[in-house]
Amino acid sequence: MSAVKPAEPASVTEKAPINWVTTLMFAFTTLPLFTVLPWYLWTHDVSGWAWFWGVAFLYANGIGITAGYHRLWAHRSYKAHPILKVGYALFGGMAIQNSILIWASMHRIHHQHVDHVDKDPYSAQRGLWYSHIGWMLRDYPSSELDFENARDLKDDKIVMWQHRNYLALILGMNIGLPVLLGLAYGDLWGFVLITGFLRLVVNHHVTFFINSLAHFWGRQPYTTTNSARDNDFLAFLTYGEGYHNYHHLFQYDYRNGIRWWHYDPTKWLIAACSWLGLAKDLKRVPDFKIKRAMLQAQFERAREKLALSTAANSNRLNELQHLLEQEWQQFSSTVAEWTRLQSEKFDTAKQQLSDKMHERMHEAQAQWEHSEMRQKLVAMERKLEESLELQRQRVQLLRTQMAYA
Ligand SMILES: [Zn+2]
Ligand SMILES: [Zn+2]
């Protein structure tokens, strides 16, 4: 048997062959912005409508990617009406970020192997440029296609229709639409340059920020196990996808910004669609789990701070350590109580449902929703949530005290 040389990891073979299709596409769409566009703006009056439609398509493309490609197809965080899916397929497709099938399959790999140098297709560990755009300019082994993780998408007729007709779709939407509108408004070149080229390139880079900047710049309130960050400014640019630290921990939540003041237009659109009956089964992570993650991250930080502390006042340090340990004990018992409550809830629901098996299923479900037992369990759950919130504030205070110890 001949000895087989182990394959070199992708990170070592940096000089993968150039992907000419994407490289030329980026060159062809970006070049006019630095040549023809400035000259045209200097010498011609561009109609306000070209800008208006440019912004409208920028948002339509962005939301097509975030609400459609990302939260619906890659993460299945809700179910959408076919009309909505067709809209996402058309306008998300117009963004020229590949077909839904390819995009979502790669994105699932990104989550599964986040930060892995050879497996994550746009690993932040390979640098800002690589995770932003570099990964698309060469045929890296980490971008090899394998739809094993996207069997559900292969069964989706709209996804497959878009995949088969992708080239016609991007040409029709990116050339056809601006040209038609330009002719209708009597400003053909203004529309081609602003609504066509500028809109496309801006949308490219703001979406790419989610893979690049959102893994480098911002806070990590929920987890430090990967490089993803929460960043309000990026959320503003990326149609609400800037709460990326939350998203990497709770990828099945249809929300990325979970507070009412978080800028997440993608979440607002999905919620509005559910009001209109165009979306259903919106998945949300229970508040308790979110608070548990935040507290866990705080405990980790507090322990790190204590371990690094070289304060002269060792009594004070011991005292803080003791307080932190007490908080940890209480945290563990709250979490254990919550877990017990969940299984009790599950068992009682199962029991009540099976008692009513002879009746129609949804009636039994409705009865359970309103049953006294359920109300009681929910109230207990709220109490545990509140106690976690209070504890979060106490641990926060402890960490502030540590800074002065
Ligand atoms: Zn990410
Ligand atoms: Zn994701």
Map residue 390 onto helix, strand or coil: helix
CA of 257 to the centre of ligand 1 (A): 15
Ligand nearest to the CA of 216: 1
Among 332, 270, 208, smallest CA distance to 76 is for 270
* Ligand 1 centroid to residue 114 C-alpha, Å: 7
The closest ligand to the CA of 108 turns out to be 2
At residue 378, the pLDDT reads 84
Compute the distance from residue 269 Cα to the ligand 2 centre, in Å. Answer: 17
Residues 6+ apart with CB under 8 A from 104: 69, 70, 73, 74, 150, 153
The answer for residues whose C-beta is within 8 angstroms of residue 203's C-beta and 6 or more apart is 58, 61, 62, 95
C-alpha 390 chain-centroid distance: 29
pLDDT at 195: 96
Measured in Å, residue 7 CA sits from the centre of ligand 2 at 29
Give the ligand with the smallest distance to the CA of 251: 2
**Which ligand approaches the C-alpha of residue 226 most closely?**
1
Q: Are 405 and 311 in contact (CB under 8 A)?
A: yes
> Ligand 1 mean position to 295 CA, how many Å?
22
Ligand whose nearest atom lies closest to the CA of 75: 2
CA 214 to centroid of ligand 1, rounded, Å:
7
Tell how far the Cα of 16 is from the centroid of ligand 1, in angstroms: 23
The pLDDT score that the predictor gives to residue 146 is 87
What are the angstrom distances between the C-alpha of 352 and each of 23, 83, 348, 360, 363?
60, 37, 6, 13, 11
As a whole number of angstroms, the distance between CA 47 and CA 386 comes to: 55
Distance (angstroms) between ligand 1 centre and the Cα of 76 equals: 16
Q: How far is the CA of 211 from the centre of ligand 2 (A)?
A: 10
CA distance 246 to 235: 12
117 alpha carbon – ligand 2 mean position (Å): 18
Ligand 1 mean position, distance from CA 361 (Å): 40
pLDDT of residue 4: 44
Q: Which pairs with CB-CB distance under 8 Å and at least 24 residues apart come from 104-109?
A: 104/69, 104/70, 104/73, 104/74, 104/150, 104/153, 105/145, 105/146, 105/147, 105/149, 105/150, 105/153, 106/143, 106/145, 107/69, 107/70, 107/74, 108/74, 108/149, 108/150, 109/149
> From ligand 2's centre to the CA of 111, what distance in Å?
7
Distance CA 156, CA 164 (A): 12
| Degrees to nearest 5, angle at CA 140 with 137 and 146 | 115
* Residue 109 CA, ligand 2 centroid: distance in Å: 10
Alpha carbon of 67 to ligand 1 centroid (Å): 16
What does the block give as tokens for 395? 């641990």
191 and 182 Cβ atoms separated by less than 8 Å: yes
Q: What pTM value is reported for the model?
A: 0.85
How remote is the CA of residue 228 from the centroid of ligand 1, in Å?
6
Ligand 1: distance of its center to the CA of 120 in Å?
10
What is the average pLDDT score of the chain?
90
Report CA(207)–ligand 2 centroid distance (Å).
12
Spans of the chain, pLDDT less than 50: 1-8, 12
Report which residue type is found at 189: W
The per-residue pLDDT for 138 is 93
Cα of 237 from ligand 1 centre, angstroms: 16
Determine the distance separating the centroid of ligand 2 and the alpha carbon of 201, expressed in angstroms: 22
Distant-in-sequence, close-in-space partners of 283: CB < 8 Å, separation ≥ 6: 77, 78, 252, 253, 254
Name the one residue in this structure whose structure tokens are 């038609």: 180
Taking the centre of ligand 1 as the mean of its atom positions, its distance from the CA of residue 39, in whole angstroms, is 38
**How many CB atoms sit inside 10 A of residue 331's CB?**
20
Ligand positioned closest to the Cα atom of 234: 1
pLDDT tens digits, 318-364: 888 888 888 889 888 888 888 898 888 888 878 777 766 656 667 77
Q: What's the CA-to-centroid distance between 171 and ligand 1, angstroms?
A: 29
Neighbours of 351 (CB within 10 A): 12
How many other C-beta atoms are found inside a 10 Å radius of the C-beta of residue 281? 11
- Separation of 168 CA from ligand 1 center, angstroms? 30
DSSP 112-178: HTTT-TTTSTT-GGG-HHIIIIIHHHB--GGG---GGGGHHHHT-HHHHHHHHTHHHHHHIIIIIHH
